[in-house]
Amino acid sequence: MTAERLRAAFRAKPFRPFRIHLADGGELQVTHPELAWVAPDGQTAVVIWPQTELNIVDLPAVTRISRARSAPRRREG
């Protein structure tokens, strides 16, 4: 994963929540652009998820990003 591709996801207008998929099978959800940051060297990212947990991610360990799954919609009935 390139730092620029991840930065582009943070800067998208409008922002859409997304998931960062890791090589070890883990996932981190980015729910707001201010809850993630890519270091200036482009090798590391920081993601705050869930709630106040700080996750440090080596970008070479990121396999892909995808749109976050939506919450199930309630049926009006």
* Token pair in block for residue 61: 């360990």
Q: Domain range holding 42? A: 3-67
Task: Express each pLDDT in 15-68 by its tens digit.
Answer: 999 999 999 999 999 999 999 999 999 999 999 987 778 999 999 999 999 987
Alpha carbon distances (Å) from 34 to 7, 11, 24, 25, 55:
11, 10, 25, 24, 14
Count of domains in the chain? 1
Residue (of 8, 51, 60, 5) closest to 33 by Cα position: 8
Alpha carbon distances (Å) from 77 to 11, 70, 74:
38, 21, 9
19 domain-assigned: yes
pTM metric for this prediction: 0.80
77 domain-assigned: no
Q: Is the pLDDT confidence value at 76 over 60?
A: no
Write the CATH number for 20.
Answer: 2.30.30.100
30 domain-assigned: yes
